[in-house]
């Protein structure tokens, strides 16, 4: 017998010690005052069903935070895909005093063209669309308010043919690669052909400006000085953007350049721009998610943003003893080890794309997950959550999910409006497809 075998008895002891060391602390399940008030408002006005909920006071505060950061140097452009409600967009356009939108899909563009008054919109595409989609959109009123995004020589040729067929003038924005590596013109030199083509057909093509998305900036690889690295990445992006604008100067007068739109920015970078305003050509900042401060944008809290959008689900059943199927005999041991799994709640809906944030102390119970991908707790029509037995959460109370993105509201056809402790109305969400 080998000497080490004499110590095998230590293994279960070590396992027990590790389990005891890792044993989660018991957490009470309670609402904060803010969510307690939200719960009461929902119980009074919309009990027993799941909803998307928008806090208008927080939305107004986020609008003010954006305006404070941007000042008067930049035009604000609303990113419609992150704000998928025509009424929400109307509200933001009025409060933020802008008619500029960035839109990504043909159906959403069509809906906006048919919803808003003539010549009231300035629509910049957030991604290129096929010329065939542009041809279909030409059947809608106000379609000439669209600034078509062009990323290749071939695509511009297609749009030129469309303009000639329709005998109309198309406004063109060029998609430039400022470091995201997601397509577009990689260098100023590669824009030469499209610029020459635009200048050669003034009746059918007009350059509206450039679009260079900087979404890669916050995702710098790990550095000890991460904030410094992000700043450096942003500065490099703007230097690249400036090179593209300077490449336009042989083709356009200073006055023509001053009238152009040079779009960039996003919810994770917009707050950098004011520090570089005097050294950049960018004059048009795109923003969407920042107005709602979804869960994927925690850094916005540093700039005064508050979560304004929640997905809410009522408790259907509360099971005071948490038993696991096929493992009923060991369930008490599991509940002892993690006292926050002692009580189970079965939700009406709740498997939304986001983080469960209220009440405090509620969590997903991974032991209920089934299948190799663990989808059981992520179903949009039902979900299971757990807490300790120190819980005041009752049947018909609401659980609040903070969505990862603003388009999480598309889980619902309507958006409830909350202000000053009351549900004050509702808006329709966009349902026109992709």
pLDDT digits (tens, 9 = 90+) for 290-304: 999 999 999 999 999
In this predicted structure, the answer to whether residue 131 has a pLDDT above a threshold of 90 is yes
| pLDDT of the residue at 361 | 94
Phi, psi of 362 (to 5 degrees): -95, 145
| pLDDT of the residue at 384 | 85
DSSP codes joined into one string, 325-356: TT-TTTHHHHHHH-GGGSEEEEEES---SEEE
Split at pLDDT 50, 70, 90, the class of 2 is low
| pLDDT of the residue at 327 | 64
276 by Cβ neighbours in 10 Å (0-12 / 13-18 / 19+) ranks as middle
DSSP label of 189: G
- Alpha-carbon distance of 160 to 166, in angstroms, equals 10
| pLDDT of the residue at 24 | 83
In this predicted structure, the answer to whether residue 326 has a pLDDT above a threshold of 80 is no
Split at pLDDT 50, 70, 90, the class of 431 is confident
- Looking at per-residue pLDDT, the higher value among 373 and 366 belongs to 366
- Looking at per-residue pLDDT, the higher value among 434 and 82 belongs to 82
Phi, psi of 150 (to 5 degrees): -115, 130
| Percent of the chain scoring above 90 in pLDDT | 72
- Alpha-carbon distance of 280 to 284, in angstroms, equals 11
- Looking at per-residue pLDDT, the higher value among 323 and 229 belongs to 229
In this predicted structure, the answer to whether residue 377 has a pLDDT above a threshold of 60 is no
- Alpha-carbon distance of 21 to 16, in angstroms, equals 8
Q: Which residues contact 250 (CB under 8 A, 6 or more apart)?
A: none
In this predicted structure, the answer to whether residue 373 has a pLDDT above a threshold of 80 is no
| pLDDT of the residue at 18 | 62
- Give the domains, in start order, of the chain with CATH numbers: 24-52+307-428 (2.40.37), 104-282 (3.20.20.10)
| pLDDT of the residue at 101 | 97
Average pLDDT, the chain: 90
| pLDDT of the residue at 271 | 93
| pLDDT of the residue at 7 | 57
- Alpha-carbon distance of 46 to 28, in angstroms, equals 27
Split at pLDDT 50, 70, 90, the class of 15 is low
Split at pLDDT 50, 70, 90, the class of 351 is confident
Split at pLDDT 50, 70, 90, the class of 380 is low
Q: Dump pLDDT digits (tens) for 68-80.
A: 999 889 999 999 9
| pLDDT of the residue at 365 | 72
In this predicted structure, the answer to whether residue 391 has a pLDDT above a threshold of 60 is yes
Cα separation values, 393 from 31, 81, 109, 366, 406, Å:
8, 35, 43, 20, 27
Cα separation values, 355 from 81, 290, 349, 351, 362, Å:
20, 17, 14, 10, 11
| Percent of the chain scoring above 70 in pLDDT | 89
Q: Mean per-residue pLDDT for 313-322? A: 88
| pLDDT of the residue at 367 | 64
| pLDDT of the residue at 4 | 59
Split at pLDDT 50, 70, 90, the class of 265 is very high
User: 9-13, 134-138, 318-322 — which is least confidently predicted?
Assistant: 9-13
User: 140-154, 245-259, 341-355, 357-371 — which is least confidently predicted?
Assistant: 357-371
Q: Mean per-residue pLDDT for 392-408? A: 94
| pLDDT of the residue at 142 | 83
| pLDDT of the residue at 21 | 66
Q: Dump pLDDT digits (tens) for 180-210.
A: 999 999 999 999 999 999 999 999 999 999 9
Q: Which residues contact 14 (CB under 8 A, 6 or more apart)?
A: none
| pLDDT of the residue at 332 | 76
Q: Mean per-residue pLDDT for 29-46? A: 97
DSSP codes joined into one string, 38-107: HHHHHHHHSTTS-EEEEEHHHHHHHHHHHHHHHTTSSEEEEEGGGS--HHHHHHHHHHHT--EEEE--HH
pTM of the model: 0.91
- Alpha-carbon distance of 90 to 98, in angstroms, equals 10
């Amino acid at each position: 017998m080998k000497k080490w075998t004499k110590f095998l008895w230590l293994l279960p002891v070590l396992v027990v010690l590790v389990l005891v060391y890792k044993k989660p602390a018991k957490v009470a399940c309670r609402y904060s005052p803010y969510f307690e008030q939200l719960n009461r408002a929902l119980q009074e006005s919309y009990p027993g069903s799941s909803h998307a909920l928008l806090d208008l006071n927080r939305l107004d505060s986020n609008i003010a935070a954006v305006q404070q950061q941007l000042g008067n140097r930049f035009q604000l452009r609303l990113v419609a895909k992150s704000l998928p409600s025509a009424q929400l967009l109307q509200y933001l356009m009025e409060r933020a005093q802008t008619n500029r939108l960035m839109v990504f899909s043909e159906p959403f563009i069509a809906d906006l063209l048919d919803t808003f008054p003539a010549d009231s919109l300035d629509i910049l595409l957030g991604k290129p669309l096929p010329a065939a989609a542009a041809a279909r959109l030409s059947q809608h009123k106000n379609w000439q308010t669209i600034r078509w995004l062009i990323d290749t020589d071939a695509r511009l040729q297609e749009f030129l043919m469309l303009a000639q067929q329709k005998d109309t003038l198309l406004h063109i924005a060029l998609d430039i690669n400022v470091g995201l590596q997601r397509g577009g013109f990689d260098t100023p030199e590669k824009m030469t052909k499209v610029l020459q083509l635009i200048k050669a057909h003034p009746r059918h093509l007009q350059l509206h400006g450039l679009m260079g998305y900087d979404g890669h900036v916050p995702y710098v690889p790990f550095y000890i000085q991460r904030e410094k690295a992000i700043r450096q990445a942003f500065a490099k992006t703007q230097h690249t953007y400036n090179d593209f604008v300077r490449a336009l100067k042989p083709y356009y007068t200073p006055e023509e350049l001053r009238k152009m739109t040079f779009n960039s920015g996003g919810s994770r970078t917009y707050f950098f721009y004011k520090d570089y305003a005097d050294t950049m050509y960018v004059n048009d900042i795109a923003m969407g998610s920042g107005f709602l401060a979804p869960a994927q944008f925690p850094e916005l809290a540093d700039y005064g943003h508050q979560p304004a959008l929640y997905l809410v689900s009522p408790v259907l059943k509360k099971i005071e003893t948490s038993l696991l199927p096929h493992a009923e005999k060991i369930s008490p041991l599991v509940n002892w080890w993690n006292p926050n799994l002692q009580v189970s709640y079965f939700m009406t809906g709740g498997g939304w794309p986001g983080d469960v944030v209220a009440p405090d102390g509620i969590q997903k119970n991974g032991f209920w997950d089934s299948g190799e991908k663990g989808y059981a707790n992520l179903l949009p029509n039902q979900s299971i959550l757990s807490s300790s037995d120190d819980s005041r959460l009752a049947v018909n109370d609401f659980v609040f999910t903070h969505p990862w993105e603003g388009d999480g509201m598309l889980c619902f056809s309507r958006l409830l409006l909350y202000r000053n402790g009351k549900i004050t109305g509702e808006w329709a969400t966009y349902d026109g497809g992709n």
